[in-house]
Structure 1
Amino acid sequence: MNTIVTGTCSLVLALLGWGEVEHWRASKRRLGSAVPRHGTSEAIVVLGFRNRGNRINAVNRWRVRAGLRSLDRAEGRLVLSGGPAGGGRPEAELMADYARGVCGYSGELLVETESRSTWENVRNVIPLIEDADRIKLVSHSLHAEKARAYLWRQRPDLATRLVKARDYRFGEWLLIKPALALLGLRNLRRIARSSVG
């Protein structure tokens, strides 16, 4: 019995550790190389998650907080992206209400309310981030990497300005990181095999 318990615990710990490592690795991939060291502006793009109904869900609340903690500069702008993919109100509007009302964010904030997929999120925010010296895409780490891959495909000139966001934190979302890693790695493999998003 003790062997079964020990084996099960070891397997669970290994799985949780694997999920953590995959997210950490993803947070460092597909970043730009031509980012100006002393650029004065940055755009933090927060990608919405399918929100059913007219109340912001837990995932979108977390993504807004991760976006806010990714702001490094006074000239930073928060760009919230997401249409009404799962409910009545666009995800970007729900996230904007949360950023302003609950989190107390008072800086520059732009919303993009038409997107229904990650490819569209990236495509539709391009006019809102073209002038930024530094660009951060915020979501869980593998989804953010997927968005960075899409920006490299759609606008490689802008992708050279990609810098690391603060969406990865050790232990955060620990129990679901393995599932998110499996889904994320599958999606990244699909991107690598396809010629479009």
Structure 2
Amino acid sequence: MRRLIPPLAVAATAAGLSLLAWAEYVNWRASHRALGVSTGTDGIEAVVVLGYRDRGPKANFVNRYRVRVGLRSQSSRARESVLVLCGGSVGGDIPEAELMARYARSRGYAGRILLDSTSTTTQENIKNAIALVEDADAIKVVSNPPHAAVGRQYLRSLRPDLADRLARGADYRFGEAPLLKVAAAVIAGRYHARRRAELR
């Protein structure tokens, strides 16, 4: 006799799959938002990695993930590529940018690194990074895709003249880090809801 799957289990599985599919779409869509016309394939590129609250003394899981995204976002065809790591001492004594720099070096990265080690918000990340990236031909802002999109929007509002240089990083891969995608999608939803409420 065939054993039936309980309806509650079927419903829970369907809900879970729907949540993952929704988060996948939100992250994919965000990875294409607020981009410029630069392809980021030649010239000088700056890859801006946005930090996440970190107690230290080592980079936490989220910041390690973001550094890996930053490293894989660097173009092999760029004449020069610089990694710009952003984040101050928000959750601990050591700035997030320094923790991320140590992690990048531990992975064998020997390229150029610039640090913004004083910012405490995403808007400050971008504001402080501008002086470090304004001479680049292509600017890639990376993090979780919805967070990176917010960063690009801030850059557009602060320095419209740099908007066309915004290029897509490699922060979206299908099926990668599904729980981070769900968290990022939920946080993005709350952020945009607050922004809409403020504009009313």
Question: Structure 1: 5+ residue runs without aligned partners?
Answer: none
Give 1:133's aligned residue: 137
Of 71, 91, 99, which aligns to 2:104?
99
1:111 & 1:44 partners in 2: Cα distance? 12
Give 1:89's aligned residue: 94
Give 2:62's aligned residue: 59
| 1:140 Cα deviation after fit | 0.2
1:17-28 correspondence runs (5 A): 17-28=21-32
Of 153, 162, 165, which aligns to 2:166?
162
2:56 & 2:65 partners in 1: Cα distance? 17
Distance 1:194 1:43, change over 3 A: farther
Give the % identical residues. 48
Of 47, 51, 54, which aligns to 1:44?
47
Question: Structure 2: 5+ residue runs without aligned partners?
Answer: none
Distance 1:171 1:159, change over 3 A: same
Distance 1:110 1:94, change over 3 A: same
Structure possessing the higher radius of gyration over alpha carbons = 2
| 1:112 Cα deviation after fit | 0.9
Q: Render the CA deviation track for 1:65-124: whole Å, top value 9, x for unaligned.
A: 100000002411100111101100111111111111x21111111111110000000000
Distance 1:166 1:192, change over 3 A: farther
Q: Which amino acid aligns with 2:189?
A: L
Q: Which amino acid aligns with 1:168?
A: Y
1:70 & 1:105 partners in 2: Cα distance? 13
CA contact (8 A) 1:146 1:187 kept: no
RMSD of equivalent CA atoms: 1.7
Matched, 1:190 2:194: yes
Give 1:120's aligned residue: 124
Q: TM-score, normalised by structure 2?
A: 0.90
CA contact (8 A) 2:39 2:168 kept: no
**Regions of 4+ moved over 6 Å:** none
